[in-house]
Amino acid sequence: MIDIIDKKDCVGCNACVQRCPKHCISMREDEQGFLYPKVDLDLCIQCNLCEKVCPVINQAESRKPLETLAAKNPDDVVRMTSSSGGIFYALAEKIIEEGGVVFGARFNNQWDVIHDYAETLEGIKAFQGSKYVQSRIGETFQQTEKFLKAGRKLMFTGTPCQIAALRLFLRKEYSNLLAVDVACHSVPSPKVWKNYINSKKDISFDSINFRDKTNGWLNYGFSLSDKNNCVFYQKSSENVYMRGFLNDLYSRPSCAACPAKAGKSGSDITLADFWGIWNVKPDFDSHTGASAVIVNSSKGMIAIRQLTSVNFEKVNYEDIIRYNSALIKPAKFPKQRIEFWQKFEHEGIDCIAPIVQSMQPSFFTRLLRYTLRMLGLK
């Protein structure tokens, strides 16, 4: 029976809730806005199926990739509306054209991030772009299983822990499933996100972009737009929500002990930003973004080979992780995280900026870190 004593031992994947045959597990939100399972002991039959689908209890071994690539979608519009090189869209487009189903994360009408599915090219557009909030999985594992059993081709995208949970939930390999995980820094609190976006209630907008590339892929910003114009824009380095997220002030506790990074998720393909491409493949660098593609299975290899219009270049795995350590390393929480949660209840997002400012290293330390990172030494 699932019993969460230490919160770092739960990724909030909802697999246990969906697999329970007696429907005796529900997800409850804690004081930080994260969901955790609660078991109704009067209904529980001690079958332990909940434990068998838990990605923390059942961690896989790391796998070495079969192939690693730099990649760019040739469509400039697709790249501009994607977080990196537009490879998610290329894969999803292929699935849809073959009559399949694509699962991904989108915003709902309240600007919460939820997992959902789409069966049209128009529908997959909502899944494009990073959403720096933990998505609510809901019943999408159950929906996925039904589609797979019906013989539909299906692509499921999510964070490494979500893909690991899906694999355990399904309990068997499906030839018609393509599992794709994305590089994950960590997942921030939906409660903090809600507090932040509510602070923008005086602005009229109908879309949110965490990775606005107006000033380029490297200098991305956070923006809110209506149907015709951008109505709010900030560099990510100046946006209070992004600054707190990138400093891990309000990431989920389990992100400090991620059970699914470094090839442990069971995905067929891993997608990431190819930071450092300008050093590895200077001629491949792009103002609008480039993706790192890590192929983890023969099924993933076939899917990539079918993207005949996409620009690919073979690269070394070490060159990818040198500039994107989030692929293999868990989040490292700062000591100021405790201070943040103490102040957030009373001050809301107003407490973020001064806390982040207190964390900033000296100019010379920042210069040294930047130099080492550009040289691929850190």
Region for residue 313 given its phi and psi (left: phi exceeds 0; alpha: psi -120 to 50; beta: otherwise): beta
CATH of the domain at 23: 3.30.70.20
Instruction: Decide if 274 is inside a domain.
Output: yes
Instruction: Decide if 62 is inside a domain.
Output: no
What pLDDT is attached to residue 303?
98
Query: Does 229 share its domain with 152?
Result: no
Instruction: Decide if 215 is inside a domain.
Output: yes
Query: Does 338 share its domain with 217?
Result: yes
Q: How many structural domains are present in the chain? A: 3
Dist CA 225 CA 334 (whole Å): 33
Domain boundaries, position 240? 190-248+334-374
Dist CA 207 CA 84 (whole Å): 18
Query: Does 166 share its domain with 136?
Result: yes
Count of all residues that appear for the chain in the document: 378
Instruction: Decide if 2 is inside a domain.
Output: no
What pLDDT is attached to residue 366?
61
Query: Does 109 share its domain with 159?
Result: yes
What pLDDT is attached to residue 375?
67
What pLDDT is attached to residue 286?
86
Query: Does 173 share its domain with 125?
Result: yes
Query: Does 81 share its domain with 149?
Result: yes
Instruction: Decide if 59 is inside a domain.
Output: no
Instruction: Decide if 1 is inside a domain.
Output: no
Dist CA 212 CA 203 (whole Å): 18
Query: Does 132 share its domain with 202?
Result: no
What pLDDT is attached to residue 368?
72
What pLDDT is attached to residue 35?
97
Query: Does 183 share its domain with 44?
Result: no
Query: Does 179 share its domain with 38?
Result: no
Query: Does 238 share its domain with 263?
Result: no
Query: Does 262 share its domain with 242?
Result: no
Instruction: Decide if 11 is inside a domain.
Output: yes
What pLDDT is attached to residue 373?
65
What pLDDT is attached to residue 374?
66
Dist CA 359 CA 3 (whole Å): 35
Query: Does 167 share its domain with 90?
Result: yes
Instruction: Decide if 273 is inside a domain.
Output: yes
Low-confidence ranges of the chain (pLDDT < 50): none
- E strands within the chain? 25-29, 35-39, 67-72, 101-107, 113-118, 154-158, 177-182, 207-212, 221-225, 230-235, 269-273, 291-295, 311-314
What pLDDT is attached to residue 1?
87
